[in-house]
Chain A
Amino acid sequence: MIAKVGLDGHDRGARVIARAFRDAGFEVVYSGLHNAPEEIVQAAVQEDVDVLGISILSGAHNTLVPRVLEGLREHDALDDTLVIVGGVIPEDDEEELLDQGVARVFGPGTPIEETIEFVRENASER
């Protein structure tokens, strides 16, 4: 699942990534815009997703991403879900997010192939 969380409307990256994963043979769900963290958790749990890619460029990641992680944890879904983040995330914040359970943060300019490889290697086997 590719998810946009919060009020951020920058969806170019999310759409390109969703399309690239689909073209690479993945089944992709795109959340659409303007979701509360809890809505993303609900959707991810309902869809039983293997990978949750959160795209955020608004600067609200320190507030919103931990709430998604917390929600997944409450549903015992965090261990089975590979959570990755893409967007404009300063380095200090990246450390913080990794500590809290994000598997990887992909910054601007990351080749799509690198993201796909990472998911292939790290998503749980089904």
Chain B
Amino acid sequence: MFDDGELEKIRQGRGRWEDETLSPYVEDGERKQRFATVSNHEVERLYTPEDVADLDYLEDLGFPGEPPYTRGVYPTMYRGQTWTMRQFAGFGTAEETNERFHYLVEQGQTGLSTAFDMPSLMGLDSDHPMSAGEVGKEGVAVDTLRDMEILFDGIDLDEVSTSFTINPSAPVIYAMYVALADQQDVPREELRGTLQNDMFKEFIAQKEWVIPPEPSLKVVTDTVEFAVDETPKFHPISVSGYHIREAGSTAPQEAAFTLADGFAYVEDCISRGLDVDDFAPLLSFFFNSHNSVFEEVAKFRSSRRIYARIMDDWYDAERDESRRLKFHTQTAGQSLTAQQPLNNVVRTTLQALAGVLGGTQSLHTNSYDEALALPSEEAVRVALRTQQIIAEESGVADTVDPLGGSYAVEKLTDEMEEEILDYLDEIKEMGDGSMRDGVLRGIQDGFFQREIQEASYEYQQRVERGEETVVGVNRYEVDEDTSPDILEVSEEARERQIERLEQVKAERDGDAVEEALDLLAEAVEEGENVMPYVVDAVKEYASMGEIMEVFEEHYGSYQETTAAI
């Protein structure tokens, strides 16, 4: 960004500065021998124009709202409207969550976000033996369409957008939402919302699965195809790095593996015969925001640039919407400490700030007591207020990409980009030129799992050696009694849920259920798109477990190889 003559002057100036001004300050060394981010990426003392000499402003940064979107996906960013403050919530039965939804809608919130309990996430009914102790614990329990009817009772589906954090059983929940729209006479093409539905990161990091990776991908692509045809305002996949980071990856690994997963879905959809410009605008992303503020900003900016370029270069995406990397951010749950829990408010604030400076489209801020238990109401409120203070008091949202042009941040963005691209090359090579095959191969061989485990073990060792400071844990500890007010979910939830499931099963037309499940089984057998059949089955009140069993019978179940430890 500077001409050669000017750069030469800067270089000379820097030499002079080092001799005359700096040297007495570094004679006895600095505070540490080596300064590094939480991902163990070394950072320099000072960045100057020399570090960004190769940057081409128009090519590499450009203007917000235009490719390569380094500076943001929209021209006015938060001056037009702030990011969506989307706090993830759900607990107990459908009635309790429905009450919460009504409260949020009355407060003017139009984006609902649903957390499911573990059995629903794993495609099990509440009366399954493995569901004992888990029903309604970390989210709402959904067994049949009846639960969804209660969950959205009194809520017009054409007036809200709903995000569903669900993966292996995502097709069932998606089908239930479509069935609900049909019941309400809401045209399917008006449905708005997001399914997480990212199975790759499940095998890589979050570890919720039913059937093996390859058929899982087939079913994900079914949902994308169905969305393109039937619900074009509904996002069928949220490609997620959040869980990869939580499992212990570094920032570049998080970004690289997530982008690789995204490109793998793109390739599978293209080989299905879908037009990239029909489905790519429906893809969205989900990232973590961790402690090292500038590293995170660099991650968001470089990911946008890479995505925009690759969608064009490799997949010939023509529409702007197909090349925009739009993402949700959640602050790093894993960084929270049980010790001195109020300190977590500060951690979350800094992480949220990084997400905002990085140009996120929506944000979830964690509650300070999450290392101890499910969050209390007070902690949830502080978490939301944190976002409102950043948006409305701090002024950081008033200028688009305010860190753009910072020598340090631009340099970190370039270095991050390089690390991500190296991984992308490696993964593509594992698939002999196919990202889709590379990701599947990487999962099967435990490549991703090993890379993440190595990074998380190294990090833990740095903490143990005191090289990473964790305030309140390995420095500045106090004796304290941390017993916060804790939200308890009773076992009663399971009993009520099982009762309802039994009632639904008694009242439904058993023959119709059987027929719908048989037709689904045939469709699975024939390799057809399963979505229309799942919609028919849920309309007959077939349960989540019954539907997932059809998949499992044909494709088998998945067991992770754990030899890697």
Contact = CB atoms under 8 A, between A and B. Distances in A.
B87 interface: no
Most chain A beta-carbon neighbours within 10 Å: one of B124, B134, B374: B134
Interface stretch (B6-14, B293-301, B331-339): B331-339
A61 B436 CA distance: 38
Contact of A33 (B124, B207, B565): B207
Given A15-B565, A16-B456, A32-B562, A58 B207 contact: no
Interface in B115-148: 118-119, 121-122, 124, 129-134, 137-138
A91 B482 CA distance: 8
A26 to B, nearest CB: 12
Nearest to B133: A63
B133 A12 contact: no
A12 B456 contact: yes
Nearest to A109: B473
Contacts, number: 100
Contact of A30 (B248, B464, B562): B562
Interface string B466-484: 0000100110000000110
B457 interface: yes
Most chain B beta-carbon neighbours within 10 Å: one of A16, A109, A111: A109
B248 A12 contact: yes
A116 to B, nearest CB: 11
A6 interface: yes
Given A16-B456, A33-B207, A8 B373 contact: no
Contact of B486 (A90, A108, A111): A90
Contact of A59 (B132, B137, B337, B339): B137
Contacts of B248: 12, 16
Nearest to B453: A15
A18 B565 contact: yes
Contact of B460 (A9, A22, A36, A112): A112
B206 interface: yes
Interface in A56-86: 58-60, 62-64
A19 B453 CA distance: 10
Nearest to A17: B460
B371 interface: yes
Interface in B143-157: none
B107 interface: no
Contacts of A36: 129-130
A60 B137 contact: yes
B208 interface: yes
Given A7-B118, A60-B133, A88 B464 contact: no
B55 interface: no
A49 interface: no
Given A12-B246, A58-B134, A88-B372, A33 B118 contact: no
B464 A111 contact: yes
A16 B121 CA distance: 25
Interface string A8-32: 1101100110111010000010111
B457 A19 contact: yes
A8 B560 contact: no
12 contacts: A7-B121, A9-B208, A12-B456, A28-B565, A59-B138, A60-B133, A63-B491, A88-B372, A108-B338, A109-B338, A109-B470, A111-B474
Interface of B: 118-119, 121-122, 124, 129-134, 137-138, 206-208, 246-248, 334, 337-339, 371-374, 453, 456-457, 460, 464, 470, 473-474, 482-483, 486, 489, 491, 559-560, 562, 565
